[in-house]
Structure 1
Amino acid sequence: MIAEDPEHGYGAVVTASGRVSVAREYSPAVSEVPFNTVQLSRLDEALTLSARSTGLGFSVYLGDLGEDTRSRAEELHASSGENAASAVLLAVSPGQRKVEIVTGAESTRRLPDRACNLAVMSMVASFKEGDLVGGLVSGLRMLSDQAGTAKN
């Protein structure tokens, strides 16, 4: 006869052989990353190609930007440290429906506001269709094209 084992709690019993058998509910781990591996690979490739072709450091932030989205995006950009002058940050807060592009001193010369605005419009069009990765990749490509090739 099998009965619940008071020492091990609910779902555990001591079998006739004396072995303790414990049943546990299986709950798959929930990923906090909004992208699958294929999407991450696409985004990584776009970031790598953008940086390699332009010589600028591109990065993407995805998440809540707080109440003052521009200030928060500028803080994130500044965290690039000594590379901030040639860095470009695409900060996207889907929940807030906000997109911010922050450029450094060097990258600003190569990416005027007009180019950044066009990239944002392209990204937003994809975001509206539910294609977050496609929008980010499209924005990176547009910014890379505008920035031109790296100066050697």
Structure 2
Amino acid sequence: MFGTDTVDRVLVTYLNDHYAAAVVGSELARRLASQQRGSVRADEIAALAEELAEDLRTLRRVMADLEVPVRTYKATAAWAAEKVGRLKLNGRVLAPSPSSPVVELEGIAAQVTAKIGMWRSMRSRARRDGRLDPDEMDELLARAERQRETALRLHDHFADAAFA
């Protein structure tokens, strides 16, 4: 079986990978909220973006509670990758493609789906690690499931508009 050091390394890698993904999800949502100001779905998108930013802060606190250092190189690389992803060629020079919010919401939904798995894993760990609150893990899991539903509902709205 794995020794404690191996388990700790696995946890450090696992949580840092999720942290990097959460950086991307938060940035995508923030940009989408900015682009959709004044639209019919603006309030819903802004609320989702704020929740994802809050979840990023919560994950950082959970990592600190577990004494897991944030690997800034991973978070920085994820942040930069999201910025580079904005440069994709979409056939338009000055305006975003109508498919841009669809693709961004697919990315957000994927990140939130991964986050659901992470909170499930942390809920499991909370059963034997007093540094984690099982009730908080349940709340975070339920919140992530609601976020996924929101992202998918928004996705359908923008897909209908882009591909009708």
TM range (shorter): under 0.3
Q: Which has the larger radius of gyration?
A: 1
- Relative to its length, the structure with more helix (as a share) is 2
Which structure exhibits the higher relative contact order, with contacts defined as CA atoms closer than 8 Å and separated by 6 or more residues?
2
Higher strand share: 1
TM-score for the superposition, normalised by structure 1: 0.26
